[in-house]
Amino acid sequence: MKKKAELLRKKDSVTILGIESSCDETSIAIVRDGREVLSNVISSQIDIHTKFGGVVPEVASRNHVMAINGVLEESLSKAGVKLEDIDAIAVTYGAGLIGALMVGVTFAKTLAFSLGVPLIAVNHIRGHMCANYISHKDLTPPFIGLIVSGGHTAICRVESFTDFKVIGSTLDDAIGECYDKVARVLGLGYPGGPKVDKLAVEGKYNIHFVKDNLKKTYDSSFSGLKTAVINYVHTLTQKGKALPMEDICASFQSEAVLPLVSKVVRACLDYGYDKICVAGGVSANKFLRNALTIAGEKAGLKVYFPEFVLCTDNAAMIASQGYFNLMAGIGLSDTDLGATSSIPL
């Protein structure tokens, strides 16, 4: 396979089929040369997990198994390509839910083996950053990356398409997890991020939950804020008072997002970069998009976000990272590739 990968690196154009199944989205995409999306089919299980108030891992795995064949067929047909046209298979092997990941990894290994094409292992979190290369065709590293998802919150130096150095991360919860927990205590259901985002537009930042106690570092902490919001809601409920839903959302969101905005701008200036790229599910958040764009402009920095459909989990970003891995000679795998629930960025 090493030889085949080498030959692909010399080809004019490389078509990669990407597979994503790390959480509750079964997705298969076909992407040319890392940036041109021919298809990106996403089958979401949100309706199934909403009943449980969050993702149930075993249910997610079973639904990936049921969905994946249909998603492959739809993806090929939308792209107008046949399996024989695929040059390589890229798959998320971590981080994520182990059973869910195993479905995608096993499917990818089988496809790659039967087609006789290279298999490329992709780190899901790095994959998120590639959504920006698809949305902004001329964008290239180096830059400061902000990763904000359901499982991760990190500020990193992105020095090349495959070289990430983490300079700050959350000391406890991820920001998306915090959005989901706050939404849950407010009775907004799963996934909570978009619902909190929407309600916050109608509210004011007039409740002070916590002070940003990590001002000097690039690290963040969200569990104190989450607990403060939960305690505030419980206290009002016990007293039989109505919850100022919109203000709670606006205040929580300000205290979760604004410290991150100032940290990432400071990191960009400290390290001498001229651009910031945001990735992960929470990059769809309108308040974050707005606040960081304004702060970036003030500091003379360019700020990039992926288009909305590429913010949350999808296979186009995985195929894109697969392409850049292939070009850098990274992640080339075989039938012994395993899924890993937790991997460093």
Contacting positions for ligand KG4 (CB under 6 A): 23, 149-151, 176, 179-180, 191-194, 197, 280-282, 284-285, 312-313
Which partner in ligand KG4, Zn ion, none is near 191 (CB below 5 to 8 A by kind)? ligand KG4
Which partner in ligand KG4, Zn ion, none is near 189 (CB below 5 to 8 A by kind)? none
Cα dihedral 282, 287, 293, 295, rounded to 10, equals: -110
Least separation in angstroms between residue 330's CB and Zn ion is 20
Least separation in angstroms between residue 179's CB and ligand KG4 is 4
Which 132-171 positions form the footprint of Zn ion (CB under 5 A)?
149
Residue closer to ligand KG4 by CB (options 62, 286) is: 286
Least separation in angstroms between residue 141's CB and Zn ion is 20
Residues in CB range of 142: below 8 A, 6 or more apart: 157, 158, 159, 160, 273
Query: Per CB under 5 A, does 255 bind Zn ion?
Result: no
Token pair, residue 52, equals 């449980």
Which partner in Zn ion, ligand KG4, none is near 193 (CB below 5 to 8 A by kind)? ligand KG4
Region of 171-179, 204-212, 293-301, 312-320 interacting with Zn ion (CB under 5 A)? 312-320
Query: Per CB under 5 A, does 313 bind Zn ion?
Result: yes
Which 282-301 positions form the footprint of Zn ion (CB under 5 A)?
none
Residue closer to Zn ion by CB (options 149, 170) is: 149
Residue closer to ligand KG4 by CB (options 96, 296) is: 96
Identify which of 252, 206, 194 has the alpha carbon closest to the alpha carbon of residue 227: 252
Least separation in angstroms between residue 282's CB and Zn ion is 10
Least separation in angstroms between residue 149's CB and ligand KG4 is 3
Least separation in angstroms between residue 185's CB and ligand KG4 is 14
Residue closer to ligand KG4 by CB (options 35, 195) is: 195
Residue closer to ligand KG4 by CB (options 117, 196) is: 196
Contact 218, 168 (CB under 8 A): yes
Least separation in angstroms between residue 25's CB and ligand KG4 is 7
Binding-site size, Zn ion (CB under 5 A): 2
Residue closer to ligand KG4 by CB (options 190, 324) is: 190
Which partner in ligand KG4, Zn ion, none is near 127 (CB below 5 to 8 A by kind)? none
Which partner in Zn ion, ligand KG4, none is near 203 (CB below 5 to 8 A by kind)? none
Residue closer to ligand KG4 by CB (options 7, 46) is: 46
What secondary structure, in 3-state letters, does the chain show? CHHHHHHHHHCCCCEEEEEECCCCEEEEEEEECCCEEEEEEEEECHHHHHCCCCCCHHHHHHHHHHHHHHHHHHHHHHHCCCHHHCCEEEEEEECCCHHHHHHHHHHHHHHHHHHCCCEEEEEHHHHHHHHHHHHCCCCCCCEEEEEECCCCEEEEEEEECCEEEEEEEECCCCHHHHHHHHHHHCCCCCCCHHHHHHHHCCCCCCCCCCCCCCCCCCCECCHHHHHHHHHHHHHHHHCCCCCCHHHHHHHHHHHHHHHHHHHHHHHHHHHCCCEEEEECHHHHCHHHHHHHHHHHHHCCCEEECCCHHHCCCCCHHHHHHHHHHHHHCCCEECCCCCCCCCCCC
Least separation in angstroms between residue 148's CB and ligand KG4 is 8
Residue closer to Zn ion by CB (options 63, 149) is: 149
Q: Which residues bind Zn ion (CB under 5 A)?
A: 149, 313
